[in-house]
Structures are given as C-alpha cells and as structure tokens.
Structure 1
C-alpha cells in the first residue's frame, strides 16, 4: 500500500472513531432511559447519566437555585429598585384608570371574579365581619375611653351657655311649630272637639246642662284654635319653652352617658348600643351597592387616589420585602425545585437541552472528528518513520 494511501486511511479511520465516540458519549447523557439487562447481567452505563443521577441533579439544582439564584436578599433588592417601583405604580394607576372609565356595576365586576353563589356568600361573610368588628371595636372604645362615666357635656362638641341657648331657642321654635301643625290638622281638630266635649261633661250641674244646650263644640273649637295658635306663636310661649329645654339640657349635660342612655331607653347603655349596631341593615346596603357603577366610586376621588398611589406602592413593597424571607421559608424553595425537577420528563428535558445546546453538541462531535483525524495523521506518520 502506498504511503500516502496509508496516511489517508489512518486519518479517515481515526476521524470516524473520534466523531462516533463523541456522538455516542453525548447520546449516553440521556440514553438509555431505563437500565438494560442481559439475563441477570446489568449492562454497564445504563441508564444514561442524567436519568441515572436525576434525583441527585434535582437536589443539587434545588440547592443552587435557593442559595445562589433566587435568594431572599436578591428578591428584596429587586423589589426595592426604582424601575420595579415605577412599574408597580404604573400598574396601579392603570388599574385606577380602567375602573374610572368602566361601565360595569359593582355586581358585574364581582361576578367576573366569583360565581354568583360565591359572591353572595362573600357579601354575607363581609356583613357579618363588619358587624362583629364594629361591635368589638365599640366595646373596646367604650371600655378604654370610659364613656360610661363621661358626662354628656364633654361628649357633645361646642357645649357652652351660648350654644345651649341657641339650641334651646331652635328646639323651642321647632317644637311649637310641630304643635301648631298638629292643632291645625284634621286630627288636631278632632282632639280639640273631644277636649271641649269632655270639659262640658265635667262641668256638670245646671251650668254644664246649659253649656251643652246652647254651645256648639265645632264652633267652640273654631274660636279656640286661633287663640291657641296665637299663643303658640307668642314670644312668651317661645321663651318659656326655650327656658324649659335649656334647663333640661343643663341637667342632662351633667349626667354620665350611660345613665342618660339608660334613662332614655330603659336598657343598659352598652347593650342598647350594641343592639343598635347589630340592627344595621348592612345586607340591604350591600344589595343597593350592587347596582352602583364602578366609575361613580372612583371618578370623584381619582386625583386623590393618583396622588396616594406612590405612598401606597412604597408601603406595599416594604411589606412584601419584609415578608419575603418568611414566605420563602414557608415555600421551601429547594424542596419545591427538587420536586419539580423530579417530575420533569426526561424526554422534555432532552428537548430543552438540545434546543439550547444542539449546535455546541454538534461542534463537539465534529471536534472529535478533527482530533481523531489529527491523531490518525500523527500516528501514521510516526509508524512510517519507524519503518
């Protein structure tokens, strides 16, 4: 065989061996995926490296992700970056704009998130929670502020002699106005007729008999009504009524709140107030709120909300950053990554790795061809030189 042909054959054979060797070495990373046996004999290097060491790879990858890639410090630093904060602000402002221009009602918007049954249950829980919170908060305020022994005059803003006089005059005018309206009404006229008849019946004797014969009750009422109305409109009646109200206000102003409420309601003050809070028609208010358009809730306050968004963003990000270590500890990121890697199909993993590193793997194969060819060249030349 000529020397040049010997050199060419050696190069081709060595290059083929080097390429095939590297090709199968790469394939053996993933194949075979299950161990092979010939009888009881276990074929070496089966399964492939990645299927065989899958659990170890998953555990190592979980540790790497938790200790170097996704750390609490790194997430906190990311959240506190101005770019991230600006994105959150833009998202919140966009959300406010969408609500401000939305044609949806509260109920329609809620039904996009929850089913109708879930929404009704949520409203019931919300009403119960608000009622319970209000009762608990009021009871705590009543106890800590000592409202039961607090005088009424200290609880009412602007309690002074001048204000009491003004309040008494206003109440007197309103009260006498109500009395006047009642007297002039049909019911008031019937009441006056009954009073006149009762007065004549009580007179008795000859005078009562004569009055019953010669006096007409309706005419008497017609004559009494203007006199009563004029008396009610008189300054004396207003002043006396105002003085009576003012004296009562002064008396009640010195009484403790609990005592005054018990006097007015006939019940223990805290229990009465708690009962009134429990009777708040929260469910009916929520039903009425169902048909309110979202934009009517946001539009009047849009400027104030937009101005409050930066401060809200800062507080939310600070709260999230503070809770990240606890959340990551609760999530158990290494265990989560390990579990997900173990569930990941080897076939899919091979596709991912080849899609990313397919060119590099082919380069490694051709590198084997090149190195094999070089080795074949040197080997053939060395053998020819040695004779």
Structure 2
C-alpha cells in the first residue's frame, strides 16, 4: 500500500480508495520534503563551503590551471583560423597606435620624464662618441660632395656678395687698414674686385665650379675637414658647456615626444603588418621552451592567488552560488520526474531490511490480534 498501485483505479467516475499507493499519491509533497530535509540538514551552506574547500585545494587548483594553460597552448598551435593571432594583432595595434601615444603625451609633460635615461645615453654614448679615421674620411667626402658641392658654394658666394655687402666690406677695409694695405685699399678698393667676382660667378657658372673644385683640392680641404672631424669630441668642450648641452638635449627630446611623439608612434603603427607580426609571435610562443617551462610557475601563482581570494570571500561565493545552482529545485524536479516503480525500487534498495521488518512485524501483530479475537469469541460463546 506504500507504493502500489502506481496509478489511481476507478469504478465509473469513482476513484477506488487507497489508489494509487501512499507514496505515488503524495509524490510531489514527498519531493518537497526530501528537498527541505537535504538542504536543511545535509547540504547546509557550511557543508557546501567545506565541500568547496576540499574540491579547491591548492594542488587540485594548480593542476586544473596547468591543464587549462597547456590545453590553450596546444589549441593555439593548431588554430587554423588564426583567431588568437587576430586578437593579439588588435591588442598590439591599439597599444602602439592608440594607448601608448596618449600615455606618452601625458608622461612627457613631467619635468623629470626620461631624465635619468637620456642623461645616461648622453654620458655613455654621445659624450664618449668619436669618429675613427674611416668614418671621418667618409663624412668629409659626403660633406664636400653632397652638402657643399662647388655649385652650392658658388650660389652662396653670389648670395653673399650683394651691393650692400660689397659696399660694407669696401668701406670697412678702407677705414681699418693701415700702411701698405691702406694705400691699396684707398687707391684700388675692393668694390670693383668683388663686383667682378660676383659677375664671373653669375655669367661663368661651369668655369666657376671648376675653379672652386680646383681650389678645394689645392687647399686640401678634404683632409682639413677630416682632421677637424677626428678632433671633434664633446669631451674637449668645457664642463659647463657639456652640462648645458646635456640639459638642452634632454629638453629637446622631451619637447619632441610631447609634440610629435604620438604622431610618430601612430605612423609607425600604421606602417607595420600587425597580423603577420602577431602570427609570428604566436608561433614563437607556442614552441618556446621558456613558455612551456613557465606554465607550472604561472599555474602555481594563480592557484595561490585563488586560494587567498577564496579564504576571504568563500562564504560570499557559496551564498551566491546556491541560488544559481537551485539545488533544492533540482531535487524536487528529480523526485517528481521519477516513476513510481523507480521510486519504489530506490526506496526499497535503501531500506529493504527495515521495510521487511515492518511487514513481518505487521504480520505477527495481525496473527496475535487474530488469536486474541478468536479466544474472546470462544469464551463469550461458551
């Protein structure tokens, strides 16, 4: 009668009493009672916290994190769609093209921005820099061939020898010379000579260039410039000049970064193929022994961080997880969805001996009561 019949039996429209059995008839209420009992006595928040602590022990969490990292690394190696590379390319593009320029402009406003680094570069590189013989020779050749070719010198002479300049030179030469030079300056002067020189440079360009080239070779200008470059060193300057030059260099770099550093980085970012760079980086990371060796360390550190977090907030987390999991409703739904036959088999499997004892005890009690009633009937009939 506890379990059977499983369904209600009817005679006409009347349900036969005690059908279905006691448990199938009250299965919904039984499910609610089971849920309340389990959640109230067995799966209490404290028990769930203890369960979470056992499950989330540091060694277990470390192993799980290590497995996840290794799985992610393997997934990256066989990622045919290059999803990870595309994500990394977007991050690098935003970092160098957007975030870093804004940060650079903000930091460049500080007076001490890169002060130590620039001073170190100035002292260790610029201050000790000096050209060797080959470098000085090449630089001198470049200056004479590119920066100061004969045609450029000729044009500079023409631009310099204006009428006002010629007059000033002539008057100054007349006033400030003495002796033989005074006689020459006042009898002949320089005006006519300088005017003829300018006219020659304008009218005879090719000839002037040839004369300038020959004069450069005759005066050995190349070797003079070379010796000057070999002797050129910041260490030969006075200390006060070097300090001022270092300060000026630092301020110039800071000002340039503040005004144009962002545009420089953005232009550099636009010119780079971030997709290809990201793919190369991903491939390198996937095969890097350093990355593989560091996975255990990373997983251990993350497990320790998670442990400290759980020690502080585990109670709050469990309190938030219980409503999300809806364990009580899961128990109710599971019991309600179980067929009466399966429910009978489950209960009998748990308390089979106890139910059999109840049945046996009921039979004995019934037999005793029957004997007593029979004896009473016999005595009362006699």
The normalised TM-score by structure 2 is 0.62
The residue aligned with 1:383 is 369
Is the 2:154–2:201 contact (alpha carbons within 8 Å) kept by the matching residues of 1?
no
Give 1:310 deviation, angstroms.
Answer: 0.7
d(CA) in 1 for partners of 2:328 and 2:55? 30
CA contact (8 A) 1:15 1:371 kept: no
1:290 deviates by 6.3
Unaligned stretches of 5+ in structure 1?
1-11, 32-47, 111-118
Judged with a 3 Å threshold, the aligned counterparts in structure 2 of structure 1 residues 323 and 165 are, in CA distance, closer, same or farther, namely same
Map of 1:335 onto structure 2: 316
Contact 2:96 2:265 in 1 (8 A): no
Question: Are 1:246 and 2:220 an aligned pair?
Answer: no
Deviation of 1:184 (Å): 2.6
Residue 241 of structure 1, CA deviation: 1.1
**Matches of 1:291 and 1:151 in 2, distance apart?**
27
- Aligned partners of 1:14 and 1:376 also within 8 Å: no
Secondary structure at 2:148's aligned position in 1? helix
**Residue in structure 2 matching 1:169, options 104, 122, 137:** 137
2:310 matched to 1:324? no
1:296 is displaced (CA, Å) by 0.6
Counterpart of 1:341 in 2: which secondary structure? helix
Alignment-derived partner of residue 282 in structure 1? 262
Q: Which runs of 5+ in 2 are unaligned?
A: 6-17, 172-186, 375-382
Of 93-102 and 301-310, the range deviating more from structure 2: 93-102
Task: Name the residue aligned to 1:259.
Answer: 244
Higher relative contact order (CA 8 A, sep 6+): 1
Q: How many residues align?
A: 332
Quickly say closer, same or farther: Cα 1:375–1:280, change in 2 above 3 A.
farther
Q: Residues 133, 229 of structure 1: CA spacing in aligned structure 2 closer, same or farther, 3 A cutoff?
A: same
Change (3 A) 1:15 1:211: closer
Q: Give the TM-score taking structure 1 as reference length.
A: 0.62
Q: Residues 363, 286 of structure 1: CA spacing in aligned structure 2 closer, same or farther, 3 A cutoff?
A: farther
Q: Indicate conservation of the 8 Å contact 2:31/2:331, yes or no.
A: no
- Checking the alignment, whether the CA contact within 8 Å between 2:133 and 2:230 is kept in structure 1 is yes
1:129 maps to 103
